[in-house]
Amino acid sequence: MICRKNFIALFFASVFVAGPAYSQNDQNKTLVVAVSTDPVNLEPGTNKAEPIGSEIIFNVFDTLVSWKAPAFKDLEGRLAKSWTVSPDGKTFAFKLRPGVMFHDGTPLDAESVKFSIERTRDINPYMKSNFGLIESISVQGALDVKITLKEPMPVFLSLLAQPQAAVVSPTAVKKFGDKFNVNPVGTGPFMFKSYTPDTNVVLEANAGYFRGKPKLERILYRVIPDASTRRLEMEKGGIDISQQNAQLSSIPADELKAFKDNKDIEVIEVPSQIIRQLEFNNNIAENSPVKDVRVRKAITYAIDYDGLLKGVLGGTADRVYGPLTTNSWAFNPKMKTNAPKYDPALARKMLQEAGVKPGDLKFTLYSFQGSLWGAMATLIKSNLADVGIEVTIAQTEFPSYRALQTAGKFELALDGRQPWYNDPDAHITIGYLSTLADSAMTFRMPKDPVLDALILKAQTTVDFKKRKQLYFQVQEAIAKKVPGAYLFSPKLIVFKRANVKGLVVNSAPPLNEYWGVSKQ
């Protein structure tokens, strides 16, 4: 029991004892990143494509290959110095970079690559189907590893660029066991230092990083759940970077306006591969007006795309014209030329030709919760009202919404997809393969063996040019069916303090890399 006199004495005596705190110089070498919730898992074996943990993985671990900044159109070797693909497209032989060390001092070698991939395949339900494509992994030499697939899958290299495909230290896994998830050890530019739940994650620079020591000494992820608090901290200088997580359902236009006049804050806008659309239930069981392609087409001509992009989204998104975004290497330019334009008069005429009178059609429009989806739904409701279609908006909490979708209990819905790897396969296969219609939130395409065969052929064709042509055909075949109205692709928006330089923002998955970042 500290009595009052002693307490006062202790207090004054302790004034002369310095406590652990950061100097101003330290603060300049520390990057503070704000995130909205705790990361769920910090290593590839357990992280199921959750964004915050995935970004930490991106900076603490390395993958075999990754996309070259800033265009993200070409793959370059990260842990792999070079690789070859067999003519049948089934075997990938990697030569690893020599001299790369894990943070615990053990060397990177072919055994650790084999160990990592097999471990992730076995324990991560998210990666089970990705890595389920693998027939075998063989170690050909200390730095030579060969991965053989069950079937040719050119998308496999893109899958290897995901954070969930990163390479872990087998020694650390054996040492930490279950706790490896909160003691991740990789080869990356930053080493894991500490995780304080609900508060922060601290990473420290890896001086021995094979691409060169990072300029920063420390990265601090601060968990700040409230968006307006993050914004105030940004203005106050309490955080350096705040990512507009594109999966969030709010519109960043307000923040953009607020920060525009602030010379201490810069906004980075990067095109993403996310697509948001108004989709029809394309294999609806009952008789429904959306079964008629003329009705569907009319609806696509009733939507004010410019109004949505400029008015509602304030320029923070790009138009999408078809199943792929314009920045995809497989984007078919015909999608743009043939895309529907806002024309209510034409829409009304099309409806008339389909035998529909104004006031005949009444739909419920389902969507995710959040102000962004609400604004989209409101615009579409008013656009459709202009052509005589009545719409009731039903924004639904995610788990219920998903249940509704996979059971096919809707006619109109707002939906979207954020691809987690950089390949047209990410949008096309799961979105449009009719055999997968009920397996996820898809376009629910009706049974069509011809389109299915085309999609599977495009997925497995090894020759790049031929594959591109096949995806062109796929897009045209899909567009003919009018499965939905393609609306927009939100840009990835990152707010940063003006003195932060060298930030690399990936588009798919949308994560930041901090290796080259410095604060001036």
Q: What is the DSSP code string of 446-502?
A: PP-HHHHHHHHHHHH--SHHHHHHHHHHHHHHHHHH--EEEEEEEPEEEEEETTEE-
Token couple for 60 = 């603490």
Choosing from 3, 21, 285, 407, the residue that interacts with another protein (CB under 8 A) is: 21
Instruction: Give the footprint of another protein on residues 455-494 (CB under 8 A).
Output: none
E strand or H helix at 394: strand 390-395
What is d(CA 11, CA 16) in angstroms, rounded to the nearest whole number?
A: 10
Handedness of CA 44, 47, 50, 51 (dihedral sign): negative
Q: Which is nearer to another protein, 22 or 464 (CB)?
A: 22
Which listed range, 18-26, 142-150, 160-168, 457-465, lies at the site for another protein (CB under 8 A)? 18-26
Instruction: Tell me the number of residues near another protein by CB under 8 A.
Output: 64
Q: Which is nearer to another protein, 87 or 125 (CB)?
A: 125
DSSP β-ladder status, 362-367 and 484-490: unpaired
Q: Which is nearer to another protein, 404 or 462 (CB)?
A: 404
Please tell me whether residue 176 binds another protein under the rule CB under 8 A: no
Q: Which is nearer to another protein, 38 or 255 (CB)?
A: 38
> Any idea what the Cα angle at residue 192 is, between residues 190 and 196, rounded to 5°?
135
E strand or H helix at 426: helix 425-432
Instruction: Give the footprint of another protein on residues 194-223 (CB under 8 A).
Output: 196-200, 220, 222-223
- Interacting residues of 345 by C-beta distance below 8 A, sequence separation 6+: none
Which listed range, 204-212, 265-273, 311-319, 431-439, lies at the site for another protein (CB under 8 A)? 431-439
Choosing from 19, 87, 359, 449, the residue that interacts with another protein (CB under 8 A) is: 19
Q: How far is the CB of 223 from another protein (least distance, A)?
A: 6
Token couple for 353 = 């030709």
Please tell me whether residue 136 binds another protein under the rule CB under 8 A: no
Binding mask 364-403 for another protein (x = CB under 8 A): ----x----------------------------xxxx-xx
Q: Which residues pair with 137 in a beta bridge?
A: 147
Choosing from 28, 29, 49, 291, the residue that interacts with another protein (CB under 8 A) is: 49
Choosing from 82, 129, 338, 392, the residue that interacts with another protein (CB under 8 A) is: 129
Please tell me whether residue 430 binds another protein under the rule CB under 8 A: yes
Q: How far is the CB of 133 from another protein (least distance, A)?
A: 13
Q: How far is the CB of 15 from another protein (least distance, A)?
A: 5
170, 267, 514 from 187: Cα distances, Å: 12, 30, 14
Nearest to 430 by CA among 422, 441, 421: 441
Token couple for 389 = 């279609």
What is d(CA 10, CA 49) in angstroms, rounded to the nearest whole number?
A: 50
Instruction: Give the footprint of another protein on residues 262-321 (CB under 8 A).
Output: none
Please tell me whether residue 27 binds another protein under the rule CB under 8 A: yes
- Interacting residues of 396 by C-beta distance below 8 A, sequence separation 6+: 366, 367, 368, 369, 404
Please tell me whether residue 134 binds another protein under the rule CB under 8 A: no
Binding site residues, another protein, CB under 8 A? 10-11, 14-15, 17, 19-22, 26-27, 30, 32, 37-38, 40, 46, 48-50, 125-126, 128-129, 178, 181, 196-200, 220, 222-226, 228-229, 232-233, 235-236, 238, 247, 368, 397-400, 402-403, 406, 416-420, 430, 436, 438-441
